[in-house]
Structure 1
Amino acid sequence: MVRLRMISKLAVVDKEMVASRLGGLLTYSNFVHAVSGATGSVIAMAVFYPLETVRTRLQVHVGRQAKHTPEEALDIVKNEGISSLYQGLFPVLVTLCCSNFVYFYTYNGLKQTLLEEGSKPGPVKDLLMAFVSGVINVVITNPLWVVNTRIKIQGLKCGTEKNQKASVPRYKGIIDGLYKIKSQEGLSALWNGTAASVILASNPSIQFMVYETIKRYFQQFFKSKELSGFLYFIIGAISKMVATIATYPLQILQSRFRAGAKKSENTKISQSLLDIIRLE
């Protein structure tokens, strides 16, 4: 009887612990962090969207004459008008808002749920939580990014010079794009680029790890948990630069898969990278 009582008490404690941990996912704090992250990313994208358009064009338009950002931007303005630099802005902002909301909500939820009271976060924990958050974000929002990539490159030809696909069809918006891609290419086409995107989940993981590491160093150096806005800006810029340089080749593959440059992702990512190096 004593043993049964002990087991029942342990079961109750375990249930309470699980409920407490799960309750950490549904908190006002997580919601605030998610909204803040989504809002910040939307504002930044709205300001620098022309550069995002140029970046995507450079990644997927194999037959381009321009090889650098200024050249490509001038070509777009000259041949298609300055408004083309903002093609697909609204759908991208909507998708980015959803994507970053999912990411930051998941990340902060995991942080509150998995870190025990009194335990300190570290680079390895930051990396794992950021990676898991990135994977969850990819699985949920990849169809939206496929449509947005197509909208940004409407009218261009994608693929290798040997086997270019026809021009990307026109889409009226996100819903129209989702419907047309599903109808014409199948449901699986909405998850084109998922493999590369899952690996690319290491991008925010690397960024967060570098960010948190540098931030802790500065906090120890200045002996203060609160840093100036300028220092946070510098830390963010450095961490993003490191993550982007480390994963940029995969970003090229991701854009091409989403644009429909390959009909399937059966081709190994390593082989695709070698093809780009060999042909371009």
Structure 2
Amino acid sequence: MSNALVNGLAGAGGGMIAQILTYPLQSVNTRQQTERIAKKSQPNKSSSSTLFQILEVIRSEGIGGLYSGLKPSLLGTATSQGIYYYFYQVFKNKAESIAATNKRKGLGDGTVGMFSWLVVAALAGALNVLFTNPIWVLVTRMQTHTQAEQKILEAKKEALLRDSSLTGSSLHDKFRELESTKPNPYGTLHAAYEVYNEAGLMGFWKGIIPTLIMVCNPSIQFMIYESSMKYLKAKRADKKQSSNTVTALEVFLVGAVAKLGATVTTYPLLVVKSRLQAKQEISTNNSLRYSGTMDAIVKMIQYEGFSCFYKGMSTKIVQSVFAASVLFMIKEELVKLYATLAKKSQKILLTRSN
């Protein structure tokens, strides 16, 4: 099995475990990102804490509400991490080969430079985005479906209040009818049908522009990660330690620092992407509905101010940093485990042949 395939499968496994552990935070964070409040209409309203929002989801939707969209999300994570790490390793091998060739020609020290790491990560990220964006559109829809339905219900109530022909008991009956209406079941196929109905096949690539720009997130992340790992291994080599292997805890901490730097840098793009992928009825105000990336950015600045680009960032930092740390740690351990098992199987084969 090639090292690219090993890294791809290990990345998929690590990503799924990290996703399961942090999914409630991710689900709440998506709701925070897509909440739209015009500063002029509600200047004093501030977003509640993450813990309060988690408890509110549990109260209104049960524990299951925190895991809405988990199945397609796990599929997306496994596919995304598998594709990303596979192509990342392919491009990494190529970069290392070029660096070694250059060294033989007297150019450089044989190691891959920081800019090369950025290019490698960006290429792998771009391919990953193009293949997996439809899955993440469905996940965002499922995570924010209840939020959108509540906004639609509020809009219907406001319409009833404005209807001058309804008064007294008739208005009360209409309100009771709305309140008693049970929401339609909403699964992956329902989300897919809704997206296709709204915008055809291209609807599955909503938010692709900010998402493609966001390939700089893993690029920054891997630049920090690879540079830090290179530094740690070189430090061990300088001290002439018996092993220059980096421990699981060190991988966890390096992964956390790398993801923190990448998340803070690119978070505004993530908010724009989530808002484009969510159902636009999530806002009852037409001024807060978007037709594209630039329309979203302009309206967000005009009606909500620059602070809206950082809605839920503290939640995202906790979720993404922990998830990335777990992913890196588990991936590296799975790669080591495969290497150990491969060596043992080779020894057994050699013993039998002799």
TM-score for both structures, normalised by structure 1: 0.80
Q: What CA deviation, in whole Å up to 9, does each residue of 1:196-255 have, x standing for no partner?
A: 101111110000001111112222222253111111111001101111111111111111
Distance in 2 (CA, whole Å) between partners of 1:78 and 1:154 is: 16
Q: What CA deviation, in whole Å up to 9, does each residue of 1:63-87 have, x standing for no partner?
A: 6974321121111112221221111
Count of matched residue positions in the alignment of Structure 1 and Structure 2: 247
1:233-272 to 2 correspondence within 5 Å? Answer: 233-261=252-280, 262-265=289-292, 267=294, 270-272=297-299
Choose between structure 1 and 2: higher helix proportion: 2
Compute the displacement of 1:116 (Å). 2.4
1:28-177 to 2 correspondence within 5 Å? Answer: 28-62=2-36, 66-116=47-97, 118=100, 119-157=110-148, 171-173=186-188, 175-177=189-191
The AA in structure 2 aligned to 1:139 is L
Equivalent pair of 1:151/1:170 in contact (CA under 8 Å): no
Distance in 1 (CA, whole Å) between partners of 2:47 and 2:116 is: 42
Which 10-residue stretch deviates more, 193-202 or 255-264? 255-264
Indicate the SS of the match to 1:116: helix
Q: What CA deviation, in whole Å up to 9, does each residue of 1:171-218 have, x standing for no partner?
A: 422x44334311332222111110110111111000000111111222
Q: Name structure 1 gaps, 5 residues minimum.
A: 1-26
Select the structure of larger CA radius of gyration: 2
Distance in 2 (CA, whole Å) between partners of 1:183 and 1:131 is: 32
Equivalent pair of 1:147/1:177 in contact (CA under 8 Å): yes
Equivalent pair of 2:95/2:112 in contact (CA under 8 Å): no
Q: CA RMSD in A?
A: 2.6
The AA in structure 1 aligned to 2:53 is E
Q: Name structure 2 gaps, 5 residues minimum.
A: 38-44, 101-109, 156-182, 238-242, 281-288, 309-354
Could you say which residue in structure 1 is the equivalent of 2:222? 208
TM-score for both structures, normalised by structure 2: 0.64
Equivalent pair of 1:211/1:239 in contact (CA under 8 Å): yes
Q: Report % sequence identity.
A: 30
1:182-197 to 2 correspondence within 5 Å? Answer: 182-197=196-211
Indicate the SS of the match to 2:244: coil
Compute the displacement of 1:141 (Å). 0.9
The AA in structure 2 aligned to 1:102 is I
Which 10-residue stretch deviates more, 214-223 or 127-136? 214-223
Equivalent pair of 1:154/1:170 in contact (CA under 8 Å): no
Compute the displacement of 1:138 (Å). 0.9
The AA in structure 2 aligned to 1:124 is F
Equivalent pair of 1:181/1:189 in contact (CA under 8 Å): yes
Q: Name the structure, 1 or 2, with higher relative contact order (CA <8 Å, separation 6+).
A: 2
1:277 maps onto 2:289 in alignment? no
